[in-house]
Amino acid sequence: MQASRLKTAVALAAVAALAVGASGCAKSDRDEDGGGDAKTGGTFVFAGAGDPKNFDPIFNDDGESFRPIRQMYDTLVQNKPGTAELQGALAESWEHDPEGKVWTFKLRKGVKFHDGTDFNAAAVCFNFDRWFNMKGAAAQSQMIYYSDVFGGFAKNEAEGVGDPVYNKCEAKDDGTAVVTMNQYKGAFPGAFALTALSIASPDALKKYDADAVKQNGDSFEYSAFANEHPVGTGPFKFVGWDKAKGEITLDRNPDYWGEKAKVDKLVIKIIKDENTRKQELRAGTVQGIDFPAPADRKALSGEGYQVLDRPAFNILYLGFNQKNPKLKDLKVRQAIAYALNRQQLVQTKGPGGTKVADEFMPDTVLGYAQDVQKYEYSVDKAKQLLKEAGAENLTLNFYYPTDVSRPYMPNPQEIFTVLANDLQAVGIKVNGVARPWNGGYKDDVQQFGKHDLHLLGWTGDYNDPGNFVGTFFGRGKVEFGDQAMTEMFEAIGKADSTVDEAGKKTAWEQVNRDIAAKWLPAVPVWHAPPAIVVTKDVKGLVASPLTDERFNTVSVG
């Protein structure tokens, strides 16, 4: 008995020793691996928050896919680091005719794609034509940004997609591409900086059959180009995506036309949970993380990490569904705007740097008016207005999403609870309805309009008021009760089609003033800056309002 127990103990100890030994050698190996020489070279490991879809820019529309794509591709024009202003990229300069229909791009010379082929006007036109001529419902349905900017295709696979904005692209000479549109849109030229509209190598697109988005039952299968052979002109080249490990590896492109990458290797590690991203940062296994939890930012910067706030380029709003006759009354909508203590919400629940929103776009966007009507928190005014409207016993269904965290809305349940509290304080009965973000929330709100009030928001894509205000209120939407607010639609349409910059500015300013005072289809709540965190020894990372960070300027150690 005694002897046998001893044996058990020995066996247990042996197992433990094995485990410790194993961990020990793993650790020492890792240490040897990690050290690189300062400044240039080495590996930059960055933690992203989700899986990319694939690496063909045109078929993507989310930040997690764009993060690696940005490192591998360039656009014709790009955003100046840290701002939403434009600067030359693959095009050194650009101009348009007075009508805003013919866009001429003077291209950079001597640029090569990763596969060694030349970047030139023919390549640019190849890309534009590829997008325009894309066939198949599967492919077209995935070109969200393209249809956002350019409307329809050569042959639309579904009705109502709209007429094509794009007409043709001509390569005047190697260094000049002329793109002709059927109409002007306010989105230009900002939209040319969209990551989705990155220029890919025509050779590779053809070789790896990029257009073949195969429909397999109720899902899509992307091409070898999108999955294994993305080829652009960017500062990093694709090496591989190890899905079992959740790591995307990119190598430095030694022939990059711009500032060559300082690190030899870039690894994007996918860690979905924000808590775990932070812990990995502390463990030293990653040198940077995206989207730290708002609650952790202070602690991290206290520990010596660089917490870089991105200038807020988003908006959270509380929307009204005017299908409810009570909400059709402007006074009721204004009462609700007065009832919300947004200042307190920003202070108690806003991520650091959050500001109360008065308009539906950040103040860095052209056409932001300084003098719109502001709804300062006032219980009295709210009650007064409700009384005037004869809506003292108002009961509203307030929809809010669960199981989601967006940069403009890190924690919707808390936001809802606080706002609902405010509404109850002025005597409005709130009936909270929670729906999972991907389990019917957007459908209920945007497609079926089951709600009275709802929370939604947006992160801007480029510096244009149309991308914010136009997207929300440019036409009748179920979300706001499908109201024929003709006056508002027309004003927005006119502002969006104004080519001349000064005129455009004035027109949008007036739209913003009228939205606040006359139309109030929703209450703007806040602009919340998302953050990005890197270790002390990471230099050269510039946080972008558009989350458009390019890692070629980054050095480690």
Partner 1 sequence: MSDPIIQPMVGPQRESVDPSSVTEKREGTLPRGIDRLGERKRARLEQLAQATADQGGVSLVRDALRRLRRNPTAMVGAGIVALFVLVAIFAPLLAPHDPAQRFDELTKNLTVDSIPGASSEFPLGSDPLGRDFLSRMIHGSRQTLFVGVLATLIGLILGVLVGALAGAFGGWVDNILMRFTDVMLALPALLLAISLVALASRSSQWTVIFAVAIVNVPIFARLLRGSMLAQRESDHVLAARALGVKRGAIVLRHMLPNAMTAVIVQATLTLSTAILEAASLSFLGLGDPDINRAEWGLMLGVDGQRYFEVRPELAYFPALAIIVVALGFTLLGEGMREAIDPKSRR
Partner 2 sequence: MLRVIVRRLLQLVVTLIGLSALVFVWLRNLPGGPVEALLGERATPERRALLTKALGYDQPILVQYAKFMQRLLTGDFGNSIRSGDPVTEVIGRAFPATVELAAAAMIIAIGLGVPLGYLAARHRGRLLDNLSIGGTLLGISIPIFFLGYLLKDVFTQNMHWFPPSGRISTGVDNTDVTGFFVLDGLLTREFDATGDALWHLILPAITLATIPLAVIVRITRASVLDVLNEDYVRTAEAKGLRHKTIRGRHILRNGLLPVVTTIGLQTGALLSGAVLTERVYNWGGLGTLIYDSISGGRDYPVLQALILLAALVFVLVNLLVDLSYAFIDPRVRVR
Partner from partner 1, partner 2, none contacting 215, C-beta within 5 to 8 A by type: partner 2
* Smallest separation (angstroms) from partner 2 to the CB of 228: 12
Rounded Cα distance between 320 and 399, Å, is 11
Q: Which of 356, 456, 495, 523 lies at the binding interface for partner 2 (CB under 8 A)?
A: 456
Closer residue to partner 2, CB minimum distance, 23 or 347: 23
CA-CA distance, 416 to 379, in Å (whole number)?
18
Based on the shown chain and the rule CB under 8 A, indicate whether residue 474 belongs to the binding site for partner 2. no
438 binds partner 2 (CB under 8 A): yes
Question: Whole-angstrom Cα distance, residue 363 to residue 468?
Answer: 12
Residues 321-380 that bind partner 2 (CB under 8 A): none
Q: How far is the CB of 187 from partner 2 (least distance, A)?
A: 14
Spatial contact of 425 and 464, defined as CB atoms under 8 Å apart:
no
443 phi and psi angles, rounded to 5 deg? -60, -50
Least distance from C-beta 507 to partner 1, angstroms? Answer: 37
User: For partner 2, which is the closer residue by CB, 418 or 478?
Assistant: 478
C-beta of 181 vs 409, nearer to partner 2: 409
- Residue 206 binding partner per list partner 2, partner 1, none, with a CB distance cut-off of 5 to 8 Å that depends on partner kind: none
Binding partner of residue 304 among partner 1, partner 2, none, CB cut-off 5 to 8 Å per kind: none
Sign of CA dihedral 180, 545, 539, 36: negative
Stretch that binds partner 2, among 186-194, 450-458, 496-504, 516-524 (CB under 8 A): 450-458
| Contacts with 235 (C-beta within 8 Å, 6 or more apart), sequence order | 71, 252, 253, 256, 258, 259, 260, 261, 550, 551, 552
Q: DSSP 3-state assignment of 224?
A: helix
The three-state secondary structure class of 100 is coil
458 near partner 2 (CB under 8 A)? yes
Q: Which does 497 bind (CB under 5 to 8 A by kind): partner 1, partner 2, none?
A: none
95 forms beta bridges with: 104
N- to C-terminal Cα distance for the chain?
Answer: 59
Q: Which does 54 bind (CB under 5 to 8 A by kind): partner 1, partner 2, none?
A: partner 2
- Compute CA distances 84 → 147, 192, 312, whole Å: 22, 12, 11
Q: Tokens at residue 214, please?
A: 């195969």
- Rounded Cα gap, residues 136 and 418, in angstroms: 46
Q: Which two three-digit tokens encode residue 181?
A: 């549109």
Minimal distance in Å, beta carbon 4 to partner 2?
Answer: 6
Shortest distance (Å) from residue 513 CB to partner 2 = 25
Residue environment code for 370-391, b if the CB has 16+ CB neighbours within 10 A, otherwise e: eebeebebbeebbbebbeebeb
540 close to 306: Cβ distance less than 8 angstroms: no
Residue range at the interface with partner 2 (CB under 8 A); choices 387-395, 440-448, 485-493, 534-542: 440-448
Give yes or no for residue 159 binding partner 2 (CB under 8 A).
yes
Binding to partner 2 by residue 303, rule CB under 8 A? no
CB closer to partner 2 out of 246 and 432? 246
26 lies in the site for partner 2, by CB under 8 A: yes
Q: Which residue's CB is nearer to partner 1, number 208 or number 399?
A: 399
List the alpha helices (DSSP H) in 35-120. 63-72
Interactions with partner 2, residue window 396-415 (CB under 8 A): 403
Of the two residues 373 and 413, which places its CB atom closer to partner 1 in the complex?
A: 413
Give the Cα separation of 192 and 174 in Å (integer): 19
State both tokens at 353: 């740097």
Cβ distance to partner 1 smaller for residue 181 or 346: 346
Closest CB to partner 2 among residues 242, 388: 242
Choose the contact partner of 293 out of partner 1, partner 2, none; CB within 5 to 8 A by kind: partner 1
447 binding partner 2? (CB under 8 A): yes
Angle at 391 between CA 390 and CA 397, to 5 degrees: 165
Q: Between 61 and 74, whose beta carbon lies closer to partner 2?
A: 61
Provide the b/e sequence for 447-476 (b: ≥16 CB within 10 Å). Answer: eebbbbbbbbbbbbbbbbbbbbbbbbbbee
Taking CB under 8 A as the criterion, which residues in 104-123 touch partner 2?
none
- Provide the binding-site residues for partner 1, judged by CB under 8 A: 275, 293-299, 344, 347-352, 400, 402-403, 411, 413-414, 417-418, 420-421, 432-436, 439-440
